[in-house]
Amino acid sequence: EPEVTQTPSHQVTQMGQEVILRCVPISNHLYFYWYRQILGQKVEFLVSFYNNEISEKSEIFDDQFSVERPDGSNFTLKIRSTKLEDSAMYFCATKDQRSTDTQYFGPGTRLTVL
Amino acid sequence: GESVGLHLPTLSVQEGDNSIINCAYSNSASDYFIWYKQESGKGPQFIIDIRSNMDKRQGQRVTVLLNKTVKHLSLQIAATQPGDSAVYFCAETRGGSYIPTFGRGTSLIVHP
C-alpha cells in the first residue's frame, strides 16, 4: 500500500540553525500539509499546499517557515532559524483530490532544538 | 473530556470488551468529523469519518456516532484487541476547509 514517507526520522540541531524536513507524498496526491505535535500535546496545523502555492496557513507558520516542492516529488518544510520551542514532531500529510477529505500522514520527523 | 497539561484521559479495557471513546466539539458550524488513531512514535492514522448530515457510520469493528444537538462525537470499537492500544483523536473541519482541528486525544489501553 502506498504511504507517505518522511526524512530524517530524527533531526537534532542547534538553536538558530536552519533545518529542512522532507516528505515524499503518495504519488497521485495533489494536496500537501504540514502539522506539528509538541510532546504530549495535540496535533496542530501549520500549512497546506496545492498547485505550487500555499492554500492556508496557521498563526504558527510565520516568516521563519517556508514550504516548497523543489523537484515535483519531495515536499519540504524549512525552518530558517530554529528556536527551542520548535522542538516537536513534524508530520507531513497528503490528500488525493479536493472531494476526498482523508489525509494520509507520514511517520513524522522528530526535531530537537538544543 | 479535556485534560490538563501532559496528561491524556485514559480508557483501560480488557481484550474482547467494547470500547467507547468520547469527544466534544464546540463549533456548531463543524460539518465533517474524523477519528484518528496514533500509535506511539507514529503519525495519525485515519480510522473513520462522518459528515454532519449523518448521525451514525459503521466501519470494520468501529462505529462513529454524532450527536449534533449536544455537539458530541463517539468512537465505538467492538471486541477491542491489544493492537487497538493507542491515542485516539477526534478532529473537525468546517466551512469547506479541509484542515482538521484536532482534539487532545484519549489514550486507550487494552489489557490482554
Chain A residues with beta carbon closer than 8 angstroms to that of B89 = 42-43
Mean pLDDT (whole number) for A53-64: 93
Q: Which residue of A has its CA nearest to B6?
A: A40
Give the gap in angstroms from C-alpha A17 to the nearest C-alpha of chain B.
25
Nearest by CB to B46, from A45, A98, A102: name it. A102
Quick check: B103 and B85 in contact, CB under 8 A? no
Render pLDDT for A60-86 as a digit per residue (tens, 0 to 9): 999 999 999 988 789 999 999 999 999
pLDDT at A62: 94
Site from B10, B33, B99 to mutate, A interface, most A CB atoms within 10 angstroms: B99
pLDDT at B5: 38
Distance CA B27, CA B7 (A): 24
pLDDT at B3: 34
- Looking at the DSSP bridge assignments, the partners of residue B64 are B57, B75
pLDDT at B34: 92
pLDDT at A103: 86
State the CB neighbour count (10 A cutoff) for residue A20: 16
Distance CA A109, CA A90 (A): 5
DSSP A38: -
pLDDT at B97: 73
pLDDT of chain B, 112 residues: tens digit per residue? 333 334 678 999 999 999 999 999 888 888 999 999 999 888 899 999 999 999 999 999 999 999 999 999 999 999 999 999 999 999 998 877 767 788 889 999 999 8
Scan for cell 449534533, then name that residue.
Answer: B68
| Concatenated DSSP letters of chain B | ----TTPPPEEEEETTS-EEEEEE---TTEEEEEEEEE-TTS--EEEEEEETT-SEEE-SSEEEEEETTTTEEEEEESS--GGG-EEEEEEEEETT---PEE---EEEEEE-
Cβ–Cβ contact B89 with A under 8 A = yes
Cβ–Cβ contact B44 with A under 8 A = yes
Nearest by CB to B98, from A39, A101, A104: name it. A101
3-state secondary structure A49-97: EECCEEEEECCCCCCCEEEECCCCCCEEEEECCCCHHHCEEEEEEEECC
Nearest by CB to A105, from B6, B44, B104: name it. B44
Q: 3-state class of A23 per DSSP?
A: strand
Mean pLDDT (whole number) for A13-26: 96
**B42 compared with A5, residue with greater pLDDT:** A5
